[in-house]
Structure 1
Amino acid sequence: MMGNYMWQIKKISILRLAQGESIFVNGNDLLAFEPSVRWDIKLMKKKVSGMLAGGLFNVKLEGAGLVAITSHYEPLTLIVQPGDSVYTDPNATVAWSGDLKTEFVTDVSFKTFIGRGSGESIQMKFTGSGFVVVQPFEEVYTTNGNQG
């Protein structure tokens, strides 16, 4: 029976926020945070893209304290620098620096519609200075709440 639930096992990573720092976390990947950390639920701007990023909502956390996030397997941290944008798969994006600008970009062509596309049709674009945490696993969300 345990084999059916192996996809639910996630790695826990602890982040330390300094005073004045903030981070956005996919709501499905936020485990816990200290009482000193302020939080707010943020609605994604594009509903379709937001659903691809794990739901319509992400949690903005700010202030000094510890934050526990989860990911499938070992997370990868990508550094974003001015003039050097980072693109991620919304379904693999776990968290990002609060100062980054985000937008959704699409690469839809005729090949996409006939199944010959060579990558993700919708990506998250990050610009500015900060970091993005991704997981080597694409979370798929269904209407009955199961993911995998």
Structure 2
Amino acid sequence: MRSELFSADNLEKESAQPGLRLQNSKLLKAELNGEFMARVGSMVAYQGQVQFEALGSGGLSKFIKQKLTGEGVPLMRVRGQGDVFLAENAADVHLIDLEPGDALSINGSNVLAFDSTLSYDIKMVGGAGMMSNSGLFNCVFSGHGRIAITTKGTPVVLTIDQPTYVDPQAAICWSANLQTGYHRAEQLGIGTLLGRSTGERFTMTFAGQGFVVVQPSEEPPGGLAGAAGGQQQSGGFLGNLLND
């Protein structure tokens, strides 16, 4: 049987070391000898002796935070020996290696898989206030290990060495040490009152030293709380819970 489908580009890529790696730009391959964490429903194929265990959001504290904020990652633990392939609606897949001392703030809906050596929590986005409907909460990953994230289209990675402004629906992840805020991008005037709008009411601001990943899409991020109950309860019990 002959076909370009069977070319070397499409054949399974092999590696001598276990771990997360790219099969291609839209498909993640986990060469499994132990365990890792993955988004529920992301498995598209596997070979070998592999077990899947649903974990919800990973622990009671994270479960409560996810219910209150709308943010979080519905997780499954994948363990055993074999090869596991994961994808998310043909989105582009990217790998980020975290070193000790690193911390990554990321929209939970863009998390595909990560090493079980990493830890994460749900944190309030600093300076967000109540000015945007794209959410107040993000997942913050830290520790030592690899995380696979998804973007819709090829992103740009902006180095933050000057004041930077990003559409909050296009900001995928950023260095957790950055100072964030929200900026009113459109001035209220007679044109706005007459229904004329640029469509850019607010932008996220970033300052400090680090990076922000921006995708070429402005679809509302499903992992963020938006105008849900978490936005109305950012103080008191919820604020204390998120800062634990």
For the aligned pair, the TM-score class normalised by the smaller chain equals 0.7 to 0.9
Q: Deviations over 1:72-105 (max 9, x none)?
A: 0111100001xx1110000111000011000011
Letter aligned with residue 208 of structure 2: G
Equivalent residue in structure 2 for 1:123, among 186, 194, 203: 203
1:20 aligns with 2:126: no
Classify the secondary structure of the residue corresponding to 2:169.
Answer: helix
CA RMSD after TM alignment: 1.9
Number of the residue aligned with 1:146:
none
* Identity across matched positions, percent: 36
**Distance verdict in 2 for CA 1:141–1:68, change over 3 Å:** closer
Letter aligned with residue 217 of structure 2: F
Letter aligned with residue 91 of structure 1: Q
Contact 2:131/2:202, CA 8 A, preserved across alignment: no
Q: TM-score, normalised by structure 1?
A: 0.79
Letter aligned with residue 18 of structure 1: E
Contact 1:24/1:58, CA 8 A, preserved across alignment: yes
Q: Deviations over 1:92-141 (max 9, x none)?
A: 11000011000011133123343433451100000000000010011136
Q: TM-score, normalised by structure 2?
A: 0.49
Letter aligned with residue 165 of structure 2: Y
Give 1 or 2 for the bigger CA radius of gyration.
2
Instruction: Compare relative contact order (CA 8 Å, sep 6+) and give the higher one, 1 or 2.
Output: 1
4+ long deviations beyond 2 Å: 43-49, 111-119
Q: Deviations over 1:32-87 (max 9, x none)?
A: 211111100113443452x42xx443100011110111110111100001xx1110
Q: What are structure 2's unaligned runs of at least 5 residues? A: 1-88, 223-244
1:37 aligns with 2:115: no
Contact 1:112/1:121, CA 8 A, preserved across alignment: no
* 2-structure distance, mates of 1:113, 1:27: 35
Q: How many residues align?
A: 130
Equivalent residue in structure 2 for 1:46, among 129, 132, 135: 129
Letter aligned with residue 137 of structure 2: F
Number of the residue aligned with 2:212:
132
Number of the residue aligned with 1:3:
none
Letter aligned with residue 183 of structure 2: V
Number of the residue aligned with 1:58:
138
Q: How does 1:66-81 map to 2 (within 5 A)?
A: 66-81=146-161
